[in-house]
Structure 1
Amino acid sequence: MQAPLQDLFAFLAVVRAGGFREGARAGGTSASSLSEAVRRLEARLGVRLLHRTTRSVTPTEAGTRLVERLVPALGEVETALDVVNGFRDRPAGTLRLNVPLSAARLVLAPLVTPFLQAYPDIKLEIVVEDGFVDLLAAGCDAGIRYDERLEQDMIAIPIGPRWQRFATAASPAYLAARGRPTHPRDLLGHLCLRGQFASGAMPAWEYERKGEVLRVEPAGPLLVSLGSGVELAVQAARDGLGIIHLFEGWLQPDLDSGALEPVLKSWWRPFTGPFLYYSGRRHLPSPLRAFIDFVRAQEDAGKPSRKPSSR
């Protein structure tokens, strides 16, 4: 019993997006056409594939099993079709990237527009997700993560700044009222704005000076989800609620404007920048190959990035 490929792709699009309207928005089609495709597929297979409520759409057990087998199979179909793109004058197709919010804001933001202008036949889909994911199972071509989060069988190339730092900062009003920390341990006596991963883990604040590395876990009045809640914490810091610890590039506009002032700058710890990573076990789709070439060209054109000084 064979099902049309377009119905299988439609079913997968709905599952990935978590709904018909969301899947239609991501795929540039209509929710009604996706719904009709899934109904045809269920009728052909004789089994319900999706649980539908007014609030959510989730796969049934049968639907989950089908997704597990479809993702690699349809990935091979897309790869096979992409071979034809080698005969085109310009790369075409869809490039799906899975990136954390910090990379979307600090790394991809300056690259997206020039890349799409250089390759007008490519459509870019960006999934913002801070946890580590199985790229192929998630239907993504590549991701951006830091070296400690990369799998060994992945190919990785540098993207964005080669060195970054977490900056600690507070508003002038907060520092005037509560005093300025002079050592990382002083943070234990201050109001600090913390972040938490979806797993529940709260990363410690790390500092380094003259070979001494310190990790502190301060407390404070606000705890936000790392990702969607970060900007709320930044605004709270601007408002004088407490001290924040975040990517230097994220806080730089507020540091430049004076809305926030650096705290413990001589202790800010540098770390290597992110990598674009992808599986080395499959043919590279032409949109991904074009993006890799674009990233490498940007790296070659940029000046060498020096390790930031803590002075």
Structure 2
Amino acid sequence: MALDISLLHAVVAVAKAGGFREAARMTGSNASRLSDAVRRAEQQLGVRLFNRTTRTVMLTEAGRVLMTRLLPAMNEVDAALDALNTFRDTPGGTLRLNVPVSAARLVLPAIVPGFLQRYPDIRLEVVAESNVQDIFREGCDAGIRYDDHLEQDMVALPIGPRVQRFAAAAAPGYLAAQGIPQHPRELMQHRCLYGRYATGVVAEWEFTRGEETVRLQPQGPLICSIGSAMELTVSAAVAGAGIVYLFEEWLKPALDNGSLQPVLPEWWQHFSGLWLYYNDRRLIPAPLQAFLDYVRELNARAN
């Protein structure tokens, strides 16, 4: 039975994503086009592949049988097409990275422009989020994480600065009115601007000087979701609303121009940098291999 391979790709995308909207996001298509492709595939095959409701899209028994045989074959097709990259002057295709918001803001801007300039046929898609997710569940080829979030059976490659710091800061006007803390515990008497993870857990503020480490549960008038919403805490701090605690590089522009003043800098805590990780047991697609090689080149220049 002949069937347009593009229809099979649509069926596989929807099955992997568990829905039309998510499949559209992952493939750069749109939900209505994928829905039409699946409908046409079902018509040509003469069987229903998905049970659809207003909220869910589930494989039927026939759909599950098809996926069992089809997925390995489609992976082989993708591998065969990717192998053609060896005959191109520059590799092409899509590279999907799953990264924390901090990486997208603080590390990737120094890497991505040069990478895209060198490899103009590669389309880079960055999924930035504050929650740690399985990178392959999101359909991504590789992920960027801090070392405590590395998954098992992954190969890790250093990416970006190897040492970072958390920094506390406030507007000069706020500190003039409320006083400058001399010890981290004094922050409990100040208006703190802080973050909360999607799990509901409030991020601790941690400070270290010598052998002494102080961990605090901040209290204050503004709580933002960890991630891109933390920019609001920076803006509020610049406006004099309280003390912010964030990556030093994130606060650096405001610290450099004087709109924020360092608080307890001798207590700022160092931590190790980010890692790019991937599963080398899988076929490494040409766009990912190009990115790995580019990051290794930047690492060699930095050393």
TM-score of the superposed pair, with normalisation by structure 2: 0.87
Q: 1:62 aligns with which of 59, 63, 68?
A: 59
Q: Which has the larger radius of gyration?
A: 2
For 2:147 and 2:226, the matched residues in 1 are separated by: 19
1:246 aligns with 2:246: yes
% same residue: 52
Unpaired stretches in structure 1, ≥5 consecutive residues:
53-57, 305-311
1:145 aligns with 2:145: yes
Residue aligned with 1:78, SS = helix
For 1:159 and 1:213, the matched residues in 2 are separated by: 28
| Aligned counterparts, 1:107-118, within 5 A | 107-118=107-118
Unpaired stretches in structure 2, ≥5 consecutive residues:
none
Counterpart residue type for residue 272 of structure 1? S
1:204 match: 204
Please state how far the C-alpha of 1:203 moved relative to its aligned partner.
1.8
| Aligned counterparts, 1:215-230, within 5 A | 215-230=215-230
The 10-residue stretch of structure 1 (2-11 or 202-211) with the greater mean CA deviation from structure 2: 2-11
> Contact between 2:206 and 2:215, CA under 8 Å: does it hold in 1?
yes
Residue aligned with 2:168, SS = strand
Change (3 A) 1:30 1:214: closer
For 1:296 and 1:95, the matched residues in 2 are separated by: 17
Q: Report how many residues are paired.
A: 297
Please state how far the C-alpha of 1:151 moved relative to its aligned partner.
1.3
Deviations 1:181-213 (A, max 9, x none): 111111111111111111112221111111222
> Contact between 2:169 and 2:262, CA under 8 Å: does it hold in 1?
yes
Change (3 A) 1:271 1:76: farther
RMSD over aligned CA atoms reads 2.8
> Contact between 2:163 and 2:273, CA under 8 Å: does it hold in 1?
yes
Counterpart residue type for residue 62 of structure 1? L
> Contact between 2:170 and 2:242, CA under 8 Å: does it hold in 1?
yes
Please state how far the C-alpha of 1:51 moved relative to its aligned partner.
4.1
Change (3 A) 1:3 1:175: farther
Deviations 1:264-288 (A, max 9, x none): 1000010010000001211211111
For 2:72 and 2:173, the matched residues in 1 are separated by: 55
Counterpart residue type for residue 166 of structure 1? F
> Contact between 1:165 and 1:248, CA under 8 Å: does it hold in 2?
yes
1:90 aligns with 2:90: yes
Residue aligned with 1:161, SS = strand
Counterpart residue type for residue 129 of structure 1? E
> Contact between 1:72 and 1:136, CA under 8 Å: does it hold in 2?
no
Counterpart residue type for residue 213 of structure 1? T
Change (3 A) 1:174 1:50: farther
1:10 match: 10
Change (3 A) 1:60 1:36: closer
Change (3 A) 1:197 1:75: farther
Please state how far the C-alpha of 1:219 moved relative to its aligned partner.
0.4
1:262 match: 262
Residue aligned with 1:82, SS = helix
1:213 match: 213
> Contact between 2:20 and 2:35, CA under 8 Å: does it hold in 1?
no
